[in-house]
């Protein structure tokens, strides 16, 4: 009897302890949730939000359907300065007007990425894309010199060489049937970033079934689905389901690739400064990884391999996936507008004549119309269709009080279609970016590379690469698009991609 009484008492005590722990764990988050709910009531929002679940059950699962849902919502509420959405217990403000976006991006207060970025941490760690606060400031300061003009000049040679390989691969389709060019462009971009970022040739263009590329695509899809489903947020749930196991499998592939390259490069580094080394009479090419291995932080300490891994994984992802998608969208738009293609051709003739030489830095400065074409392509199809920040301090946005901790989602895809700044927004008009037509435009009306203190560090690299690849392709081929705009069906993942690729027909140029 005494034993039973003791067990009964122990059970009560255990239950009480469990209840106390549960209350302690949930009290502050629940209190904060109720406080945010009440404080944000005046802000117009998406209807049908349930307590704790929010609007999550209303989100479309398919990435293409989800993007359409976002665009329909922003069109419906275009007259409103901002709207609120609840993803589980986490509040998000949806921003798609230049004036409200400026309030978030123009200040150094709100530089932290939103809660949803934590699902990128297993892959990218807390590198430049995902880090916050002092770590981000230190890394940004440390990495900015690696994108100096003189270093970008070194990278230009790699871009030209890899584009030559792309041209040879595209020749097999010239004057033939329509084909999907998406993978060709992507593998070229991957070869470029591997050689410039890591100093390693991986010959991705010779391996069309690259496991790394497949894993990047799969990981992007997995992460975006998890971001929209709060019931998958707890790791202890996610890690035991099928998608969590697929996540772990892809993560291993992505990390093992970059880890092996870092290890190999570190072992090959000599004591001598790489900038002064000579290789058979030529200056040795610098790679982003070489510079990281020799970079010190504010305290004078070298980055460890884990720090370097974060930045290499970040640049491998951001440095090939975004530019590849942007170049593909541009090819579709150029191939859909013969008059634009003729103007590009005239500019190429003026700069290069009949010469078949590589693109130089001086040539890039002269390709002004092509730059406008790229900018207009990025307006219609921004590589990153949406991104998010955390509001780091109580503030006012357009007269509404926004409490600290709320997430602000900026949607360039919708922002770039504001008819106040881009009349007939669905029309493809590169002339919008002529200097005389850009004067006076709101500085936050066009954000293909974000803006403010946390803008994209690699935007000059990206623009260089796009100019080199597109100029070279158009010097060799006439491009004809084989899809209508409606058939493209953009997918709202981490990167904006067409559901079924970009289908074009190429014709060899006679001169």
Sequence-separated contacts (24+) of 226-231 with Cβ below 8 Å: 226/119, 227/87, 227/116, 227/119, 228/56, 228/59, 228/61, 228/66, 228/87, 229/56, 230/53, 230/54, 230/56, 230/87, 230/88, 230/89, 230/90, 231/56, 231/88
Quick: pLDDT tens for 259-306. 888 888 887 765 444 445 444 444 567 788 888 888 776 666 778 888
Alpha helices by DSSP H, 272-358: 288-293, 305-336, 338-352
Q: Residue 44 has what pLDDT? A: 87
Q: Residue 56 has what pLDDT? A: 82
In a domain, 31, yes or no: no
Q: Which secondary-structure segment (H or E) carries 85?
A: strand 83-87
Share of the chain above pLDDT 70, in %: 90
Residue 429: which CATH number? 1.10.630.10
- Spans in the chain with pLDDT lower than 50: 3-8, 10, 16, 18-27, 271-275, 277-282
In a domain, 232, yes or no: yes
In a domain, 219, yes or no: yes
Which residues have a Cβ under 8 Å from the Cβ of 357 and sit 6 or more positions away? none
In a domain, 422, yes or no: yes
In a domain, 96, yes or no: no
Judge whether 89 and 52 are in contact, CB under 8 Å: yes
Judge whether 112 and 393 are in contact, CB under 8 Å: no
In a domain, 471, yes or no: yes
User: Has 153 been labeled as part of a binding site?
Assistant: no
Quick: pLDDT tens for 190-219. 999 989 988 888 888 987 677 887 888 889
The pTM assigned to this predicted structure is: 0.88
In a domain, 131, yes or no: yes
Q: State the residue range of the domain holding 367.
A: 106-506
Of 366, 118, 387, the residue nearest 234 (C-alpha): 118
Token code pair at residue 104: 């978030």
Q: Residue 162 has what pLDDT? A: 97
Of 492, 254, 464, 480, the residue nearest 383 (C-alpha): 492
Rg of the Cα atoms in the chain:
25
In a domain, 176, yes or no: yes
* Number of structural domains found in the chain: 1
């Amino acid at each position: 009897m005494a034993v039973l009484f003791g067990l009964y008492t122990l059970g009560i005590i255990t239950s009480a302890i469990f209840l106390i722990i549960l209350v302690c764990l949930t009290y502050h988050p629940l209190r904060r949730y109720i406080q945010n709910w009440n404080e944000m009531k005046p802000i117009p929002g998406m209807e049908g939000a349930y307590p704790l679940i929010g609007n999550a059950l209303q989100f479309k699962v398919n990435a293409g359907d989800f993007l359409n849902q976002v665009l329909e919502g922003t069109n419906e509420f275009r007259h409103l300065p901002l709207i609120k959405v609840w993803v589980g217990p986490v509040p998000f403000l949806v921003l798609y007007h230049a004036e409200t976006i400026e309030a978030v991006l123009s200040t150094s207060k709100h530089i932290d990425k939103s809660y949803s970025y934590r699902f990128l941490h297993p892959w990218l760690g807390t590198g430049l894309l995902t880090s916050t606060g002092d770590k981000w400031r230190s890394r940004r300061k440390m990495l900015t010199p690696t994108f100096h003009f003189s270093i970008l000049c070194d990278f230009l040679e790699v871009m030209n060489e890899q584009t030559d390989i792309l041209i040879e691969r595209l020749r097999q389709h010239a004057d033939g049937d329509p084909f999907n060019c998406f993978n060709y462009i992507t593998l070229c971009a991957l070869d470029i970033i591997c050689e410039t970022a890591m100093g390693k040739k991986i010959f991705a263009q010779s391996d069309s079934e690259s496991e790394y590329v497949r894993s990047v695509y799969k990981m992007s899809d997995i992460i975006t689905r998890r971001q929209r489903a709060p019931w998958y947020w707890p790791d202890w749930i996610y890690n035991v389901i099928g998608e969590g196991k697929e996540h772990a499998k892809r993560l291993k592939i992505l990390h093992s690739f970059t880890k092996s390259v870092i290890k190999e490069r570190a072992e090959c580094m000599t004591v001598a400064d790489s900038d002064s080394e000579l290789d058979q009479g030529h200056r040795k090419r610098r790679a982003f990884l070489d510079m990281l291995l020799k970079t010190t932080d504010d305290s004078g300490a070298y980055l460890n391999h884990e720090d370097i891994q974060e930045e290499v994984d970040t640049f491998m992802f951001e440095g090939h996936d975004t530019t590849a998608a942007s170049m593909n969208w541009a090819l579709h738009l150029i191939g859909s507008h013969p008059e634009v293609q003729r103007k590009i051709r005239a500019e190429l003739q003026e700069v290069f004549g009949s010469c078949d030489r590589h693109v130089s830095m001086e040539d890039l400065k002269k390709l002004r119309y092509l730059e406008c074409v790229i900018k207009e392509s990025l307006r219609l199809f921004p590589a990153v269709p949406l991104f998010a920040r955390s509001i780091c301090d109580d503030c006012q946005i357009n007269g509404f009080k926004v409490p600290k901790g709320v997430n602000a989602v900026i949607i360039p895809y919708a922002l770039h279609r504001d008819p106040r700044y881009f009349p007939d927004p669905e029309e493809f008009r590169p002339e919008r970016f002529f200097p005389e037509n850009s004067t006076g435009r709101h500085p936050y009306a066009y954000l293909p590379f974000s803006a403010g203190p946390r803008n994209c560090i690699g935007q000059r690299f990206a623009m260089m690469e796009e100019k080199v690849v597109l100029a070279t392709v158009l010097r060799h081929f006439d491009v004809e698009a084989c899809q209508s705009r409606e058939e493209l069906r953009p997918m709202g993942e981490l990167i904006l991609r067409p559901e079924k690729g970009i289908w074009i027909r190429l014709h060899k140029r006679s001169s």
